[in-house]
Amino acid sequence: MHADLSKANLIGADLRGASLPGADLTEARLSGANLACANLEGACLQGATIEFALLPRVVLVGGCLREADMSGVVLAETDLSEADIRRANLRGADLHSARMDGTNLREARLGGAFLGKASLRGADLRGAYLRLARFESTDLSGADLRGVEGLAQVQIDAAVCDQQTKLPEGFHGRARDGG
C-alpha cells in the first residue's frame, strides 16, 4: 500500500530519511521541507510545489515530477534516473552530482541551475530552457538537447559529450574524460 499524500500541506516539514516509495504526493505543498536521504522511488509529485526544499541524496528513480515547481531546490547527489520531469520548474536548483540518466526533462525550466558533475546520460532535454545553467563536467553522453532554449556553446564546452549526444544545430561537443 502506497501513502496517499496528494494535496497535503507539508510546508517546512522534516521528513529526513522518510521511506515513501510509490507515494502519491500529487500537488502536495513541500516548500522548504527537508527530505534529505528519503526514499521516494516511483513516487508521484506531479504539480507539487517543492520550491527551496532540501532533497539531497534522495532516491527518486522512476518518479513523476511533471510540472512541479522545484525552483531553488537542493537535489545534490539525488538519483532521478528514468524520472519524468517534463515542464517542471528547476530554476536555480542545485543538481550537482545528481544522477539523471534517461530522465525526461522535455520543456523543463533549468535557467540558472547548477548541474556540475551530474550525469544526464541519455536524458531527453528537448525544448528545455537552459539559460545560465552550469554544466561543469556534466555527462551529457547520449543526451538529446535539440530545440533547447538559451543554450550557449560555452555551456557545451564545459560538459562531457559523446558521438550520441544530440546537440542543437550549430553547436559542437567534444568527447572527453569527465573524471
pLDDT digits (tens, 9 = 90+) for 55-89: 999 999 999 999 999 999 999 999 999 999 999 99
- Tens digits of residue pLDDT in 87-146: 999 999 999 999 999 999 999 999 999 999 999 999 999 999 999 999 999 999 999 999
In this prediction, residue 175 has a pLDDT band, given cuts at 50, 70 and 90, of: low
56/45 Cα distance (integer angstroms): 16
Nearest Cα to 114, choosing from 97, 134, 131? 134
Residue linked to cell 513523476: 64
Structural domains of the chain, with CATH: 25-179 (2.160.20.80)
Cell of 91: 530554476
pTM passes above 0.85:
yes
Torsion sign over Cα 59, 63, 69, 71 = positive
Tell me the H-state helices in the chain. 153-158
- CA-to-CA distance for 132 and 112, rounded, in angstroms? 5
